[in-house]
């Protein structure tokens, strides 16, 4: 390495420290606010912790915010979990299967199929919201888990990643399997699936965060409080009509809403980075 001693190193540390502070500052202030009673936040922002952290967490988990309808946040966290895991598993399953079909069969029209899957990259949910909502409505997908999950499980990136990976699996494995009399299903289950384990785990991390952080789709597809997700419900808590915002409880809810993906990112950092870099590039 070049130049990493003395003054240069001090400057490097200073830059990184400033960056880390910039990133952590909003989270710190949120945590501090979540530890205070509502009165402590009127017209000011405390910079050090108060005594009410566990009460605030207990209160939003059990009763939510009265001004925003009082839906309990534990239920939102449950809904978010079901949605995120459902989207994740759904994406992985249909991408694994379709990539296998495209790579390992001389199926006529496979290139067109691949192209069609690929084009979905260019159609983010945000630009086709009204007609997609109408399709979901016709299929009875309003206010239920299938509605939160199915419209979001198509995945060009996951299919692409699996396809690229399958292309690197040595042809000899397929030959050997066929000599042993294995059909496509056996080959898929006993060879391809186990070899894909690391890729699948990395994809799970990335797609879980994607699913958990969905906002627009849950906003459209749910109108019953029992089906709200935590990320989507936060907006109702900061935009309460005719009442001051209860910032201590809003921050408590926001922290609960970002904690699960945060734990996944930090706890599985290596898999997360692998998944992110490989699905996107």
Positions in 233-272 near other proteins (CB under 8 A): 234-235, 238-239, 245, 247, 250-251, 254, 257-258, 261-262, 264-266, 269, 272
Burial grade of 119 (CB within 10 A; 0-12, 13-18, 19 or more): exposed
- Told to check if 171 binds other proteins by CB under 8 A, we report yes
Count of CB atoms within 10 A of residue 56's CB? 23
In this structure, the dihedral spanned by the alpha carbons of residues 168, 169, 172 and 176, taken in order and rounded to 10 degrees, is: -170
User: What span, in angstroms and rounded, lies between the C-alpha atoms of 66 and 56?
Assistant: 13
- Told to check if 204 binds other proteins by CB under 8 A, we report no
CB of 185 or CB of 194, closer to other proteins: 185
User: What span, in angstroms and rounded, lies between the C-alpha atoms of 272 and 38?
Assistant: 37
- Told to check if 179 binds other proteins by CB under 8 A, we report no
Q: How near is the Cβ of 37 to other proteins at its closest, in Å?
A: 15
Specify whether the CB–CB gap between 133 and 193 falls below 8 A: no
For residue 174, what are its two tokens? 């397929």
- Told to check if 128 binds other proteins by CB under 8 A, we report yes
- Told to check if 116 binds other proteins by CB under 8 A, we report yes
Q: Candidates 104, 191, 201, 225: give the one binding other proteins (CB under 8 A).
A: 104
User: What span, in angstroms and rounded, lies between the C-alpha atoms of 59 and 40?
Assistant: 17
Which region, judged by CB under 8 A, interacts with other proteins, from 58-66, 69-77, 124-132, 195-203?
124-132
Which region, judged by CB under 8 A, interacts with other proteins, from 50-58, 71-79, 168-176, 195-203?
168-176
- Told to check if 22 binds other proteins by CB under 8 A, we report yes
Q: How near is the Cβ of 119 to other proteins at its closest, in Å?
A: 8
Give 143's DSSP letter: T
Q: How near is the Cβ of 278 to other proteins at its closest, in Å?
A: 10
């Amino acid at each position: 390495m070049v130049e990493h001693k003395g003054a240069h190193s001090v400057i490097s540390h200073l830059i990184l420290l400033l960056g880390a502070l910039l990133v952590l500052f909003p989270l710190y202030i949120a945590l501090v606010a979540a530890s205070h009673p509502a009165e402590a936040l009127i017209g000011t922002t405390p910079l050090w912790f108060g005594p009410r952290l566990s009460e605030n967490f207990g209160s939003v988990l059990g009763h939510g915010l009265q001004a925003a309808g009082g839906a309990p946040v534990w239920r939102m966290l449950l809904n978010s979990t079901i949605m995120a895991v459902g989207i994740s598993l759904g994406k992985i399953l249909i991408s694994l299967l379709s990539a296998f079909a495209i790579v390992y069969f001389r199926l006529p029209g496979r290139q067109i199929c691949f192209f069609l899957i690929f084009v979905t990259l260019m159609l983010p949910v945000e630009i086709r919201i009204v007609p997609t909502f109408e399709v979901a409505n016709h299929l009875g997908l309003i206010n239920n888990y299938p509605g939160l999950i199915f419209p979001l499980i198509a995945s060009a990136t996951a299919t692409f990643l699996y396809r690229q990976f399958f292309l690197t699996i040595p042809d000899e494995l397929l030959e050997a399997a066929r000599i042993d009399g294995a059909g496509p299903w056996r080959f898929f289950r006993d060879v391809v699936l186990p070899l894909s384990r690391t890729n699948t785990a990395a994809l799970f991390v990335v797609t879980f965060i994607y699913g958990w952080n969905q906002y627009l789709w849950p906003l459209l597809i749910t109108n019953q409080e029992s089906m709200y997700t935590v990320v989507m419900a936060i907006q109702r808590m900061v935009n309460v009509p005719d009442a001051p915002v209860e910032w201590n409880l809003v921050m408590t809810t926001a922290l609960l809403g970002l904690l699960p993906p945060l734990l996944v990112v930090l706890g599985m950092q290596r898999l997360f980075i692998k998944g992110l870099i490989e699905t996107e590039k």
